[in-house]
Homo-oligomer: A and B are copies of this chain.
Amino acid sequence: MPLTPEQQAEIDDLRASPRPTLRAVSEGMEAHLYTAYPVLDHGFVRVIDYMGDDAAITQAARVSYGKGTKAVSNDEGLIRYLMRHWHSTPFEMCEVKLHVKLPVFVARQWIRHRTANVNEYSARYSILDREFYIPRAEDLAAQSTVNNQGRGEALTGAEAERVLEYLKGDAARCYDHYEEMIGQEGQQGLARELARMNLPANIYTQWYWKVDLHNLFHFLRLRADAHAQYEIRVYAEEMCRLVKDWVPYAYAAFEDYRMGGATLSSKAIDCVRRMLKGEQVTQETSGMSKGEWREFMGVVEG
């Protein structure tokens, strides 16, 4: 469990003290506030604050489109319309602030999403805790043989054991030396900003991450996708669960149009039309490369 009793007591305190507000309130999100949901072996995601709800999206859209939006009479229909036609600004009107604890190699992927606000725990000022991500046996995936980026089956037997031994042993030894270098009785100690360089990328860090709903959806589309690395995907999936309770209409539209959707090229559209007219289209007659065709088959055949 990633929290100390003191931290848990602090969360319980925060959750015990509701205060009145005139702002938009999402009951679904209030139920999650501050609670740390575990991810991986030592990580977590927890919501620190949020702004807006489903109605805030349509309210902003109605400012923009005025009488133009009246044709779509209800919030759910309007949100689906906005999502389908790539209107991004109404979704930017909602904001969420998360506290995330995650391994450094996951943080390095995550931070590539630039349109967000971040305050990360600083290893220049402070000392990192002795906590490392060690995969479960079933997550020790082999390199894929068909895909440079992907994973194959889990390693087994002696190879799996050896990997776990390396990961645990190296993390422990590197951390022991990190501690020794930053100082002991009667010694000056190496500057923290230097000592941290000895720590491997599976050490945990933490940050506050604040993002608007449009950019969060973009993050989730890429990171909750089946092709994302497992260790970031589990964070994205946990966040999907939170977003679903926060803005249920927006999340449902996101699921239908983005997560479950697919983009067809003009060549692919042409093939669909020919196929619907009864033509037998093959990769050779499609005008697509083998890779494109394989992906296209994945869409139309499932």
B77/A289 in contact, CB under 8 A: yes
A208/B63 in contact, CB under 8 A: yes
Across the interface, which residues of B come within 8 angstroms of A144, CB to CB? Answer: 191
A233 to chain B, nearest CB (A): 12
- Tell me, yes or no, whether A34 is within 8 Å of chain B by CB: yes
Contact pick for A201, options B50, B199, B262, CB 8 Å = B199
A43 to chain B, nearest CB (A): 13
**Distance of A210 Cα from B214 Cα, bound (Å):** 13
Give the residues from 69 to 123 in chain A that come closer than 8 angstroms, CB to CB, to chain B.
69, 71, 77, 80-81, 84, 86, 89-90, 92-93, 95, 97, 99, 103-105, 108, 111-112, 114-115, 117-122
**Distance of A126 Cα from B301 Cα, bound (Å):** 32
Given contacts A66-B126, A200-B198, A202-B197, contact A51 B180 (CB under 8 A): no
**Distance of A18 Cα from B189 Cα, bound (Å):** 52
A121/B66 in contact, CB under 8 A: yes
**Distance of A210 Cα from B143 Cα, bound (Å):** 32
**Distance of A295 Cα from B65 Cα, bound (Å):** 20
A191/B141 in contact, CB under 8 A: yes
A299/B269 in contact, CB under 8 A: yes
Chain A residues bordering chain B, tally (CB within 8 A): 136
- Tell me, yes or no, whether A137 is within 8 Å of chain B by CB: no
B196/A81 in contact, CB under 8 A: no
Kindly supply a per-residue 1/0 record for chain A positions 49-65, scoring 1 wherever the CB is within 8 Å of any chain B CB and 0 otherwise: 11110001001110111
Measured CB to CB, the nearest residue on chain B to A166 is B177
Across the interface, which residues of B come within 8 angstroms of A202, CB to CB? Answer: 197-198
Contact pick for A121, options B34, B63, B192, CB 8 Å = B63
B68/A149 in contact, CB under 8 A: yes
Given contacts A51-B49, A200-B199, contact A275 B273 (CB under 8 A): no
Given contacts A152-B188, A212-B117, contact A105 B196 (CB under 8 A): yes
B269/A260 in contact, CB under 8 A: yes
Given contacts A23-B49, A141-B191, A174-B174, contact A89 B117 (CB under 8 A): yes
Q: Supply 10 A–B pairs (Cβ within 8 Å), ascending by A.
A: A49-B52, A67-B148, A111-B112, A141-B191, A142-B188, A149-B193, A166-B198, A197-B202, A256-B267, A275-B276
The 3 closest A-B pairs by CB, nearest first: A260-B266, A68-B125, A66-B126
